[in-house]
Structure 1
Amino acid sequence: MTEILSTNKTRSLKRELDALVSTFDASFLSTDPLHFVHGYKRDRDREIAGLIASCLAYGRVDGIKKSVGRVLGAMGKSPYEFTLNFNPAEGLRLFDGFVHRFSGPKEITCLIYFVKQMIMANGSIGGFFMKGFVAGDESIKAALSAFSENALSLDSFPVYGAKKLPKKAGVRFFFPNPNDKSACKRLNLYLRWMVRRGDSLDFGIWKKVNPAQLVIPLDTHIARISKNIGLTTLRSPGWSMAEEITSALRKLNPKDPVRYDFALCRLGILDRCPKKKDALKCEKCLIRKVCVL
């Protein structure tokens, strides 16, 4: 991959982005769906709550919070116990009327039913993920691809009424594949939560995965801000852009390149970084010294 950062640029970026990370710490969790996952004490509950929250992390923040709260509220105090005892027919009734943009009762029911099968077969979602994981891989791409393919091959008959998951089944949206050029934002977000350790944001539950292998969860905020500070030269969001941004961030922190994700995303979510040059906002911006806008 082409190097896009000079030595001087790397130094200045690291200085400014490290300061940004210090500013946007766990006290800003209320602006993120990760907030819900912190409501659980046991890793087995956090693992399931995290997948639910990340899968629904698309659309407006208020809508995401409402939808995640609705689903996790229905699962009670322990998403793990709820999932072990989950019955798809009962799930369809329980989530009747649920709508999160284009995800409805079938999508949530099938997602939870998939998780139940992962646990029954491999002990946990993490155990299921590890089936396609190779410790020596530079990035998580191959493992993520295998995870999605394996998930979508699980039984879905009680929900969709077909032996094979229909091509238009909405649950497919929750399991994109990097081989299809998708940025896989929501799954990369989930991986960040499960793998990163060492701070009060993420949980580090999946010990066998190296944080250095993670890829940035690329959304519209990260794509736009990354262009503004020279982390990518690409125009179209997708897996290639996510890889290029991650490669640039590895020059700043080889062991933990996605540590900057939460802080950079706050700039967009909190409207601290305007879409167009705004003298008032830009003057107060925490990364104005490295911005090319």
Structure 2
Amino acid sequence: MTTVELKEFLDEKVILYNNCDFIESDPVQIPHLFTQKEDIEIAGFLSATIAWGNRKMIIKNAHKMMDLMGNTPYDFVLSHSETDLERLENFVHRTFNGTDFASFIKGLQHIYKNHGGLETVFTKKDGDNGKTINLQNTIHEFKQLFFEIPHHYRTQKHISDPLNGSAAKRINMYLRWMVRQDNKGVDLGIWKNISPSLLSCPLDVHSGNVARKLGLLTRKQNDAKALAELDLKLRELDANDPVKYDFALFGLGVFEGF
């Protein structure tokens, strides 16, 4: 398949999957429940954090997270009491438990009260150039800020660090949700100060396998080096919006068994 043919093929798959029908089977539906900016970004962050494993269970447990916060995530993050956090004790999604959930609430409160909120933390500028810096470096810096308050050590594993070799699938997916706005109804696009051209593909077993079959990826592991390789290829196909191809790669793998 030539580069032109590959682009045409993937563009068709983007159109097929990047529409509102995608939402009903994807955890992106959770932030879509809200209208206030801070509710959307917190709901999205928590939902993306537990987005591994069975998709139906991810969605079920993400709804449970919202219920435990009274379906007012921003208010809960800012104003919770220790008694409120006790309600979270029995929450479990795979290895993410109630202790982790409470630590995340405290970390989010710290981000909003002391660092200007999630969008501000991710919208770092590169000195006088005024350009947003490499988002993989920004994810590393975000993790440092998030955990600079007292926390349980076990909870650190639930935010991946690209500088430690991780593809950081879940947090890259979260950034796609917050940044991309193409009026197709899936990604929310509420963060206006980060260019979609800087986003990285949420690389997982499905998108990785499809990318290898299509010749977009040669590295066998789904790690930071593989992500960098895939990003370069996707930017060749569309420099302005490379991560739209996540819909094609994921859809081909999950829905078509490509």
TM-score, normalising length: structure 1: 0.81
Matched, 1:83 2:77: yes
* Aligned match for 2:68, one of 50, 69, 74: 74
Segments of structure 1 that go 5 or more residues without pairing to the other structure are 1-7, 161-165, 275-293
Query: Is this contact kept in 2: 1:145–1:178, CA < 8 A?
Result: yes
- Where does 1:239-250 land on structure 2 (aligned, <5 Å)? 239-250=224-235
Q: Could you say what secondary structure the match of 2:142 adopts? A: helix
* Aligned match for 1:146, one of 133, 138, 141: 141
Matched, 1:189 2:189: no
- Where does 1:186-265 land on structure 2 (aligned, <5 Å)? 186-199=170-183, 200-265=185-250
Shift of the alpha carbon at 1:9?
Answer: 2.3
Q: Distance in 1 between matches of 2:23 and 2:122?
A: 26
**Residues 32-70 of structure 1 deviation map (CA, whole Å, 9 limit, x = unaligned):** 100111111121110100000000101111221121111
> What is the root-mean-square deviation of aligned Cα atoms in Å?
1.7
* Residue identity in the other structure for 1:19: E
CA distance 1:96–1:138, shift in 2 (3 Å): closer
Q: Distance in 1 between matches of 2:217 and 2:191?
A: 29
Shift of the alpha carbon at 1:77?
Answer: 3.3
Q: Distance in 2 between matches of 1:267 and 1:191?
A: 22
Give the equivalent residue in structure 1 for 2:100: 107
* Aligned match for 2:116, one of 123, 140, 145: 123
Q: Determine what percentage of the aligned residue pairs are the same residue.
A: 30
Q: Distance in 2 between matches of 1:59 and 1:86?
A: 29
Give the equivalent residue in structure 1 for 2:156: 172
* Residue identity in the other structure for 1:195: V
* Aligned match for 1:13, one of 2, 6, 27: 6
Q: Could you say what secondary structure the match of 2:93 adopts? A: coil
Shift of the alpha carbon at 1:269?
Answer: 2.7
* Residue identity in the other structure for 1:104: N
Shift of the alpha carbon at 1:138?
Answer: 6.9
Give the equivalent residue in structure 2 for 1:98: 91
* Residue identity in the other structure for 1:150: L
* Residue identity in the other structure for 1:214: L
Shift of the alpha carbon at 1:227?
Answer: 0.5
* Residue identity in the other structure for 2:139: L
Give the equivalent residue in structure 2 for 1:26: 20
CA distance 1:57–1:253, shift in 2 (3 Å): same
Q: Could you say what secondary structure the match of 1:237 adopts? A: coil
* Residue identity in the other structure for 1:194: M
Q: Could you say what secondary structure the match of 1:38 adopts? A: helix
